[in-house]
Structure 1
Amino acid sequence: MNEPLDDRNQSSLPQPAQAAAGLSRADERPASGWRGSILRKEAFTLRDLLIVAFYHRRLIIFAALLPMLVAAGAALFFIKTQYTADGLMMVLVNREVSGNQSVADTGPAVLSIEGLKSVHSELEIIGSAGVIRSTIEKVGLEKLYPEIITGRFEGLLPPVEPELRMDRAMELFRRDLRANVESDSNVVRISYRHPDRELAIKTVDTVIGFYRAHRRNIFDNPRAPFLTSEVVRFKQQLEATDADIQKLKADYNVIEIEQDRVLAANQVDNVVQRHRQVSERQAAITAQLEEAERQMAGVPKQVFDFRQRSDATANDDDRNVLTRLQLERDRLALQYAPTYPALAEIEQKIDTVRKAMRNKGDQKTFYTDREVRNPAASFLANMILSLKVERDALQNQLVELDRQRITAEKRLAELRVADGQLVEMHRRRDVLDDSYRQYVKRAEAAKIEEDAAQVRSSNVRLIQQGDAPITGLDLRLPLLVAGVSGGLLLGAAAGAFGAWLRRTFIMPTEAERSLELPVLAEFGGAGTRFDRPDQRQALAHFASIMLDTAIDGRYLRVFQLASVGDDERKRPLARALAEEFATGRQLRTLLIDFGGARDRALIPATAPGTRDEAMPVATSDVPQLWLAADGPHSTLGNLRAPLVDARRQIDQLRREYDVIVISGPAQGFSPITQRVASIVDANVLVVRGEVTRSPAAIRLRDMILEAGGGVLGTVFTGRKYYIPRWVYRWL
């Protein structure tokens, strides 16, 4: 189906060249004069949603029809009008008429929560297996569920095995039976659903009858004789246990086991603590004794007290006399002339004193040495004697403490054994005592209840017999509505799920949003030639964009068309673009194809050129168009050749030709694509609808940018229009 060309071209073709150029490099910022890309930042519109819906129409229709058909089939063949019969009963929960075993209780009246529990217990009795089985047997299994015997789904499925029919009937009966408590009351409603109204009413009455009979059997339980025998048995066991406890206490000499265990444990702990203290003191005494004996062996018996040496004599005052005479001489010398007689006399006295002092050098020196008994030896001897006495005393104390410890531990072990036996006996006695008390109370209560049961009326009162409305419940229309609603929802979910799983492009806007690059041109059709009028028009516009884009005043002349694989029609597009440059613009155009030999054979070539050119070329049947004779083996396609040589070859080709169109390798992720991308003026990604996968296209774009190449935009080929023409009138 074809979409109106004028509307589609106006909405999908780019703006003028300077505004639509999307060229960008990973390692540089846009230079002055460089036009930034203008991407269409449109939100998802109704048109986009319709395109996705019509693309996945088979999946959506299948998903939508499936629940509709299932609902229609069920409504036509299996859904029948259902009649619900109801019966009402009231459960009395006061003490006088309740069904619990507490008639003799002297406590307060039954609380509301207890009454609610009593009512719910009645519901469990109604839904018990005995009541249901008896009801099915009386009403008739073949009447209630004939499909169990004749086969389900109108005989399409085999009948249930005879040994399993009753179990299956009980499962179905529980599904159709409802027993609920009315809100804020003690009224029980019993409901049963069946296509036959009379049979539903009969079944409800039968359930009520078997429920009341089964309930009487449950509560009819004479217990007084049994409880009396149990009271006697527990009393005998309790007396025997008391006798065993007293005998055990007498055997182990126990008064109060807890206090005896505490006293024995304290005694053991006290003995152990004293034993440790004595052991520590004994070790300290031994160490002190050894050290004292070692020091005693090295201590001398007598020690030096003092020594005195002196050469002084009695009445020796010569120096003092000499000093006084000298002072006197100095005083007289200051007051009198040197010839003064008193000075001569003083000098004579000084000489006399000095001579006397010189004669004292021959005097003897006196020495005095004194030795006394060593006091340390006496102290050490007394200490050694004291430590030996204390050591012997501590040794005797340790022996006594060991004996006390053994006795205390033996007593503690006996008490531990006795305590274990007493705990078990007391536990048994407590259980017996509690049981004895309970059975005494219950025996008395049972006697009273059995007497009261003879005159007590039932606590379940029938309010309403089974009854059903004349108009039944028809679920066919709600089922059809539910099927249609479910079909629409499932169809929408299937379409959304299919769109989420799809990784290919079906619209140019998807390529723009995913690659973040403008779509420079889009081509419809499934052929390999771009010769239709709309394709030639889009091709001319695409060529204008490429020729009119400039960087810093320099127009782009060398382009590379790159694609993920060989199914994007990249080579036919490159040939058609080169022909547009040659014929439509009258420009000298060179087409270099890096595809395989089989792909290059699609390009018609004549005899090689005769000029000495930068690359061997061949003329074509299109004027002004030359074809590279062996591009993959040239300097551009040789990965071992330096990149500088490749740039030099491109510059030489730029001087010889006006436009150079390069068709990249068949595999877009080839290293040749990266090599060429970094030396051409611009790169253009070619994507094809329903073929090119978005992750692969994004990877190819990133690979070109990482190689240092600029990406001008994308070309969308294989465009299909999924929406019928008449739908576009409303968009």
Structure 2
Amino acid sequence: MVISTRARPARKEGVVYTHITTRDYLNTLFFYRKIALMVFVWTVAVGVIIGLMQKPAYRAEARLLTLLAGYYNQSSVNDGPAAQPVEGQLVSIEAQILNSSELHRAVLKTMLGPDASRKQIDDALQSFEKHFRLQQDDLASTISLFYTDTNPKHAADMLNRILAEYFLERAAIFTSGRVSSLAARRDLVRTQLDKLNANMVAFQTKYGIVSIEDQIAHAVALQGLIRQRKLENNGVLAQDRSTLASLLVSAKDVPATILLYSDNGEAARTLDTMQLSQLQLEARRADLASRYMPGSPFVKQIDRQIKALRVSITQQKEKLIGVERYGHNAYYDTVQDRLSVVSSNIKGEIARQKELEDQIKTADAGLQSLIGAANELSQMQTDRNILTESLRSLSRQVELASIDRIQADSASSTNVRVIQAPFPPSQPINPLNMFIGASIAAGIVLPALTILILVSLRETFLSPEQVERVIGLPVLSAPVTPRTKIRKRWFRRAKPKTGAGGAPALPPSYPSRILYGRTITAIDTSSDALTKLVMMISFNDSEGLLEIVQGLASELERRSSRPILVLDMASLPDAPPLYGAPDQNGELAWPFGEGESRSDTAAPEEDTLKLLEFLPVAGHDILVARPREGTLTLTPHETVSLFDTLRARHDYVVVHAPPVSRSFIGVENARLADATILAVRAEKTRKPVVLGLKEQIQEAGGWIVGVVLTHRKSYIPAIIYRFL
């Protein structure tokens, strides 16, 4: 059998189960029920103890009503109708006075006397502010004062002292020194206004300002005229420069002396005569060449004559002399006159351009000076308007302040009324039932927060749903461990109770067969191979994988016509075997129910199988194979050969791999199995460990069909669970 070619279903990567049910919340709640109950009891107990230890506190109350008064308006503008205060403004003003530390210090000084030290006053002030509280109502324009103390009469007396000192201090704040201060400010503004008027007159005299707008307009017009003339001059200058450049280009090729007469007729006639003689000699040569051979003396002689004549013609051409007559060029004088005129025009235009630039600079400086003077004069006028308005406003404020002072002095009345005088309270504000209720509320909230923190820190699993959400693999089996003390030891293999043959003994009430229907279905559908090889892997020895393998083998026994083989690779050489020692008949005890009759199996003859020791199980058609003593670790090729041989002899081969914390054999050989099943222990196996193990198996090429959750408990009581 070639394992690498077997068909497998497509692997779904990244499957995450996010649905959280009510059962998950209840599992978490009842898992931490002891801690939550302990936190609740301690919280309620502490709250009751604090309530019993607290002394009864009494709170005195006083209430003030604030009415509108003229001296609230402190603005500098008094023209027109008085501005109405915004909602809560008057109450906030009075509340600031009542809540000020200076008012509280004044109250404490009257109580402690003039001999009190600064430290005593500061300590008393801290104690006072802890017991005093102010509350304002902006809609009703009322202020409520509260003072808390264990003595009700002392609480009411403190509020009376606060109110008495408050009315004295606020009268001094709103009326004392206001008229003289406003009058001093008015006189100061008047002095500043007079000084500013004098400065404006001196400034206008210095710069000769009569009408600043007309002067600026005249300067702008003059500047525009000069700029226009400058632009015109620039245009003419550019035109003359172009004309001069053109004339210079034209005059470059005009000579001062030109050729008047030239004659070379005699030289030409001599040259013509020699060329005619050359033609005659060439014609004679042609005649001789037609009658004689090319190397005859007649032909060679005529060739020498033709050659000598050609040399003479060439020499004669070099010696030819003609007759020439030169004279003065009149056009040259005309061009020079034109160049002189254009050059003089350019020099004049350049001088005019410089003069116009100087005039523009002078005009710009004058215009900028006028603009700066106008800005400064405008600022002076703005300042004078502001000072005039301030003087008018301060004069009116002085009048109103004088009226308010006269009214306050004559009527001795105020706009704040006491609508509820302080009275000693009769009922405490901290009864015992309040502490009990608060402790019960805190006892409900704190356990919830404690459970939330513990859940966020916990990295183990409680239910199959949590395993599927975190790992992304289906849970194939999750048997519930009985809650009795005897049943809780069923998964503990550190000191297991053994029955006949050294096999682990089950409690009498535990069922003899665990249902592994979903596990077997996942194994059967894992590949198209006729026989299945299942790799059972756990991280630690205490995951309960032994019982899972035994139960799974018992269920597979009924589905196969051949013996079920359990390959024990987890037993240590120097420790007792996991599946126990054989009895006198050479059979192993099996803790799960009664099986079928054992098939007759011939002794293995393959050399590979001789490395294993096969032990039958009493009363079951199951074989347990374990490596013989002294067997070395198999190579990958030997492992493949061994698995192929076991597949040929058995329908189901269940490999009990050693824990990953002790050996990596199971992960390495997971690729050779049709299905790999992980064993996870509830409340113990950590999530990062399982996720790392899953990633290692998948990287090695293994096919994980699911997870078996062991040592799972039922945390929800039956009376609640039946409604889920």
CA distance in 1: counterparts of 2:359 and 2:550, whole angstroms: 117
Displacement of 1:532: 1.0
Q: Do the aligned residues in 1 keep the contact of 2:480 with 2:713 (CA within 8 Å)?
A: no
Q: Matches of residues 143-182 of structure 1 in structure 2 within 5 Å? A: 162=120, 164-173=122-131, 176-181=132-137
Match for residue 681 of structure 2?
A: 688
Which of 493, 497, 518 matches 2:475? 518
Aligned-pair CA distance for 1:482: 2.2
> Is the counterpart of residue 559 in structure 1 residue 523 in structure 2?
no
**Contact 2:175/2:404 (CA < 8 Å) preserved in 1?**
no
Q: Secondary structure at the residue paired with 1:168?
A: helix
Residue of structure 1 aligned with 2:50, choices 54, 66, 74: 74
> Secondary structure of 2:676's partner?
strand
Distance in 2 (CA, whole Å) between partners of 1:222 and 1:601 is 105
Q: What secondary structure, in the 3-state scheme, does the structure 2 residue paired with 1:660 have? A: strand
SS in 2 for 1:684: strand
Letter in 2 for 1:519: L
**Letter aligned with residue 531 of structure 1:** A
CA shift digits 1:475-528 (9 cap, x unpaired): 432332122122212212322342343221123443345444133353743422
Structure 2 contact 537–677 (Cα < 8 Å) conserved: yes
Change (3 A) 1:492 1:116: closer
Distance 2:651 2:380 in 1: 115
Alignment of 1:172-571 (within 5 A): 172-173=130-131, 176-181=132-137, 183-184=139-140, 186-224=141-179, 227-228=182-183, 230-257=185-212, 260=215, 264=219, 271=226, 275=230, 278-279=233-234, 281-298=236-253, 387-388=342-343, 390-412=345-367, 414-415=369-370, 418=373, 422=377, 425-426=380-381, 428-460=383-415, 461-514=417-470, 515-520=472-477, 522=479, 524=481, 525-528=490-493, 530-533=504-507, 537=511, 541-542=515-516, 546=520, 550-551=524-525, 556-570=531-545
Inter-partner Cα distance in structure 2 for 1:277 and 1:73: 106
User: Is 671-680 or 211-220 further displaced after alignment?
Assistant: 671-680
- Residue number among 85, 91, 94 corresponding to 1:122 in the alignment: 94
CA 726–397 in structure 1, closer or farther in 2 if over 3 Å, else same: closer
After superposition, the Cα gap between the structure-2 partners of 1:427 and 1:567, relative to the gap in structure 1 and judged at 3 Å, is farther
Q: Hey, what's the Cα distance between the residues in 2 that align with 1:397 and 1:549?
A: 111
Q: Contact conserved, 2:571 with 2:578, CA < 8 A, in 1? A: no
Give, as a single letter, the amino acid of the residue that structure 2 aligns with 1:491.
Answer: P
Q: Which residue of 2 aligns with 1:717?
A: 710
Pairwise CA distance, 1:658: 5.4
Q: Distance in 1 between matches of 2:514 and 2:184?
A: 113
The alpha-carbon distance between structure 1 residues 447 and 383, as it changes in their structure 2 partners (threshold 3 A), is: farther
The one of 614, 618, 628 aligned to 2:613: 618
- The structure whose RCO (Cα within 8 Å, separation 6+) is larger is 1
CA distance in 2 between counterparts of 1:652 and 1:42 reads 44
* SS of equivalent to 1:466: coil
* Deviations 1:635-681 (CA, angstroms, capped at 9, x unpaired): 3xx3xx4xxx7544422222345543323343279875454223223
Q: Quote the Cα distance in structure 1 between the aligned partners of 2:225 and 2:76.
A: 61
Q: What is the deviation of 1:686?
A: 0.9
Q: Which residue is 1:131 aligned to?
A: 103
Q: Deviations over 1:583-628 (max 9, x none)?
A: 9998263514167766797677899x99443241134585743312
Q: In the alignment, what sits opposite 1:627?
A: 626
CA pair 103-394 structure 1, distance change in 2 beyond 3 A? closer
Q: How many Å apart are 1:684 and its aligned residue?
A: 1.6
What is the alpha-carbon distance in structure 1 between the residues aligned to residue 240 and residue 664 of structure 2? 94
CA 1:222/1:721 → structure 2, altered by over 3 Å: closer, same or farther?
Answer: closer
Q: Specify whether residues 620 and 267 from structure 1 end up closer, same or farther in structure 2 by C-alpha distance, changes over 3 A only.
A: farther
| Correspondence for 1:312 | none
Partner in structure 2 of residue 309 of structure 1: none
**Change in 2 beyond 3 A, CA 1:470/1:573:** closer
- Whether the 8 Å CA contact 2:77–2:393 is kept in 1: the answer is no
Give the superposition deviation at 1:231: 4.3
Cα distance change of structure 1 residues 673 and 249 upon mapping to structure 2, 3 Å threshold: farther
Q: Which moved more, 1:711-720 or 1:618-627?
A: 618-627
CA distance in 1, matches of 2:510, 2:206: 121
Q: Is the 8 A contact 2:88 2:139 kept in 1?
A: no
Tell me the amino acid that sits aligned with residue 654 of structure 1: R
Is 2:175–2:405's contact at 8 Å kept on the other side of the alignment?
Answer: no
Contact conserved, 1:594 with 1:663, CA < 8 A, in 2? yes
**Counterpart residue number, 2:500:** none
Q: C-alpha distance in 1, partners of 2:576/2:374? A: 105
1:17 corresponds to which residue?
none
Q: How does 1:577-726 map to 2 (within 5 A)?
A: 587=563, 589-593=565-569, 611-615=605-609, 616-620=611-615, 624-629=623-628, 633-635=633-635, 638=636, 641=637, 646-657=639-650, 659-667=652-660, 672-701=665-694, 704=697, 709-722=702-715
Query: Mean alpha-carbon deviation: is it higher for 225-234 or for 484-493?
Result: 225-234
Q: CA deviation at 1:295?
A: 2.3
Percent sequence identity is 21
Distance in 2 (alpha carbons) for counterparts of 1:575 and 1:78: 65
Contact 2:479 2:514 in 1 (8 A): no
Provide Cα deviations, 1:527-570, integer angstroms capped at 9, x if missing partner.
22553157985666449964996458865442110224444243
The equivalent of 2:28 in structure 1 is 52
State the alpha-carbon separation in 2 of the partners of residues 672 and 105 from structure 1.
Answer: 97
Deviations 1:16-46 (A, max 9, x none): xxxxxxx9946479xxxxxxxxx99997345
Q: Contact 1:592–1:660 at 8 Å: present in 2 too?
A: no
Q: Which position in structure 1 is the counterpart of 2:260?
A: none
Query: Which SS does the other structure have where 1:522 is aligned?
Result: coil
- How many Å apart are 1:82 and its aligned residue? 2.3
Structure 2: unaligned runs, 5 residues or longer: 1-5, 257-328, 482-489, 497-503, 587-602
Query: Partners of 2:647 and 2:9 in 1: how far apart?
Result: 24
Counterpart CA distance in 2 for 1:575 and 1:67 is 49
One-letter code of the match for 2:394?
Y
Normalised to the residue count of structure 1, the TM-score between the two structures is 0.67
Change (3 A) 1:584 1:248: closer
- The equivalent of 1:345 in structure 2 is none
Tell me, in whole angstroms, the C-alpha distance in 2 between the residues paired with 1:234 and 1:411.
35
